[in-house]
Structure 1
C-alpha cells in the first residue's frame, strides 16, 4: 500500500457507520463523532458548538470533522439541534435512513462516522485541523465518488449495499488526498503534506512502509533519495518532525500493535515482522514505545 493508505489504515478501526438524511426546513441535528457530511441536495449550516463561526455548506460540499466534537447540522444557524433516538432510523441496509423537519425546502445529506484510534495517532492524522471543508467541484475524483454515492442511494439496485459501504469506507482517503493536494495544511500537517510529495523524502517513506522489517540505516535510506546522509537526515527531520530511524521505529511499533490487536500471531512472528531478531529486543522496544509489554498490550486490547 502507499503511505497515505497505510497511515489511514493504522488509525482506523472497525467499519464506518452511515446515515442518509432527508431533511425539510426547519430542521436541526445534534451530532458528535469523527466523520464526514456530504450535501447531496440543497444546503445547510454546520454549527460548531465549541464556538467557531457557522459554516454554510452548499450542494456537493464535503466536510470532515477530525475530532469527536459536538456540532449541529441545520437549515439555519439559529435552528436548535435535536438528538435522534436509535429507533428513528429506518431500514436494514448498512446505510440507515432518517427523515427530519417539517415541510420547507429540502436538503439531502449523507453522514458517516469513522472510528479512529486516538491513543497513538500517526502525526499526519494527529495534526489534522478540526474541520476540513472541501468543495467537490474543485476535486474531480472526490466529485465522482460523491456522485456515485448519490446515484446508488437515489436508485438502489442489486449490489448497492456493498457498493455504498465500500464508497463510504473509501471516502476518508478521497477527503484526505483532496485536502493534501489543495496545499492548505498548516504547521506539522503541512510538513507531512510536503513530505509525501518531496522527491527525496517520499521514496524513503515508501521504502520504510513497504518493508519495515528491512535493516534500514540512514545511509541506505539516503541512497534512495539521491542525497548524502547528513542532508537527507536534515530534510527528513525538517518535514516529518523526527529523524528517519525514530520514525522507522515508531512505524514498526505501529504495525506490531495492529498485529497484536487484530491477529493471534505469536510474539516471535510479530517481532520478526517488526524487524527484530529476538522477542526480548522487540518486547523492550515495544514497551518503551507503548508503556506495556506486548503480551499485556494484546490482552488489554482484545479483552
Structure 2
C-alpha cells in the first residue's frame, strides 16, 4: 500500500453527496457554519459561481472546480450575491431511490444567462483519529480539475457523477444501482482531490507536507508502514540520509511537530481503528501499535481520545449500530 493510501486508511473520511443544483441567474445560496469535523464541498459541473467567506474576497469558481471548506465555515455561493437568497425547488429524480435531490430555481436556464450546475455534499472527519489530517489541510482547499492533465481521475469523476445524478440536464432517466454508484464515487472524491492538491505543492505544515517532502517522506513512509516498531531519531535520520540534528530541524520546519509526536498520532489512529473494527483485546491492540505495557497504552490512548480504550470501543460500536439502523 502506498503512503497516501495508508494515511487515508488511518484517518478515515466519510463522504456524502445529496444535492445537485441547477440555477439560472441570478442566484444566491447561503450555507451556515457546520460542526467541527464536517466539511462541506461544492463541485462545479457547468457555469460559474462566486464563493464568499466572511472577511475575505470572493473567489470565482469555474466548471471543473472542487472546493472543500475543511473547517465547516459559513459561506455564500452565488451569482449576483446582493440578491435575496434563492428559493430553490427540490425535485426528486425519478423516485425515492434517486441518489441526490435536484434543486432548481425559477429560471433554470430558460433565459439568456448561463446556467450554474453544481453538486453539494459533505466530508465527515471521524474524531479523534482524523483530527491530524483535518488540521493538515487549509481551511479552503481548491482543486481546479480543468488545469489537471487530460484523463486525470478527478476530471473523469465529474463526468461520471453528472451521468449518475440525472445526466446533462439533471432530470434524465436513473440508471440501475445509481445510489450505490454515487456513494462510491463520492467516497473517491476526497482521495482524488487530495492527490491533485498534493501534486501541485499545496501542503501547509503537517502530515501531508511531510508526506509530500522529497526527502522526509522516507521517514513518514516507514512510520506509516510499521508504527509499532521503535523509531529512534538516528534510525529515521538515516532513512533520510541526514544527520540527526538536521533531520529534527527540517522535520519541525516542514511538519510543524516532532517525529515522536507524529509516531504517537499514527499509533493512536491505528489503535482507534482496531478498537472500532477488530475483536482484539486491549492488550493485543496496545502491543500491535508498539506498547508492551497495557497500562501505558491505556494512559496514552485516553490522553489522545478523551476516553479509555474500552469506553472508546463501546461508543464506536454504538455509533456504528445507529448508522446501520439509519441506513448510513
Measured at CA, do residues 89 and 3 of structure 1 come closer, stay the same or move farther in structure 2, by a change above 3 Å?
Answer: farther
Q: Does 1:99 align with 2:103?
A: yes
Structure 2 unaligned spans of 5+: 319-328
Q: Does 1:157 align with 2:175?
A: yes
Match of 1:47 among 52, 68, 85: 52
Report the alpha carbon displacement of residue 93 of structure 1 after superposing the two structures with TM.
Answer: 4.0
Report the alpha carbon displacement of residue 131 of structure 1 after superposing the two structures with TM.
Answer: 1.8
Q: CA RMSD in A?
A: 2.8
Equivalents in 1 of 2:9, 2:97: separation in Å?
25
Equivalent residue, structure 1, for 2:69: 65
Q: Does 1:144 align with 2:156?
A: yes
Q: Does 1:56 align with 2:48?
A: no
Equivalent residue, structure 2, for 1:217: 232
Q: Does 1:24 align with 2:39?
A: no
Equivalent residue, structure 1, for 2:42: 37
Report the alpha carbon displacement of residue 169 of structure 1 after superposing the two structures with TM.
Answer: 0.9
Measured at CA, do residues 198 and 127 of structure 1 come closer, stay the same or move farther in structure 2, by a change above 3 Å?
Answer: closer
Contact 2:237–2:243 (Cα < 8 Å) also in 1? yes
Equivalents in 2 of 1:297, 1:236: separation in Å?
31
Q: Which has the higher helix share?
A: 1
Deviation per CA, 1:143-195: give whole Å up to 9, x if none: 22223322333175344443332221111122222222222444x25xx5542
Structure 1 unaligned spans of 5+: none
Q: Does 1:271 align with 2:286?
A: yes
Report the alpha carbon displacement of residue 42 of structure 1 after superposing the two structures with TM.
Answer: 1.7
Report the alpha carbon displacement of residue 118 of structure 1 after superposing the two structures with TM.
Answer: 5.2
Equivalent residue, structure 1, for 2:265: 250
Structure 2 matches for 1:188-227, cutoff 5 A?
A: 188=205, 192-227=207-242
Report the alpha carbon displacement of residue 15 of structure 1 after superposing the two structures with TM.
Answer: 4.2
Alignment TM-score, normalising by the size of structure 1: 0.84
Contact 1:10–1:258 (Cα < 8 Å) also in 2? yes
Report the alpha carbon displacement of residue 203 of structure 1 after superposing the two structures with TM.
Answer: 1.4
Measured at CA, do residues 148 and 7 of structure 1 come closer, stay the same or move farther in structure 2, by a change above 3 Å?
Answer: same
Contact 1:94–1:165 (Cα < 8 Å) also in 2? no
Alignment TM-score, normalising by the size of structure 2: 0.78
Measured at CA, do residues 28 and 134 of structure 1 come closer, stay the same or move farther in structure 2, by a change above 3 Å?
Answer: same
Equivalents in 2 of 1:274, 1:69: separation in Å?
35
Measured at CA, do residues 193 and 264 of structure 1 come closer, stay the same or move farther in structure 2, by a change above 3 Å?
Answer: closer
Report the alpha carbon displacement of residue 59 of structure 1 after superposing the two structures with TM.
Answer: 1.7
Report the alpha carbon displacement of residue 206 of structure 1 after superposing the two structures with TM.
Answer: 0.9
Partner secondary structure for residue 95 of structure 1: coil
Q: Does 1:134 align with 2:134?
A: no
Equivalent residue, structure 1, for 2:192: 174
Match of 2:81 among 57, 77, 80: 77
Measured at CA, do residues 194 and 260 of structure 1 come closer, stay the same or move farther in structure 2, by a change above 3 Å?
Answer: closer
Equivalents in 1 of 2:122, 2:14: separation in Å?
11
Report the alpha carbon displacement of residue 43 of structure 1 after superposing the two structures with TM.
Answer: 1.8
Equivalents in 1 of 2:23, 2:14: separation in Å?
28
Measured at CA, do residues 11 and 30 of structure 1 come closer, stay the same or move farther in structure 2, by a change above 3 Å?
Answer: farther
Equivalent residue, structure 1, for 2:326: none
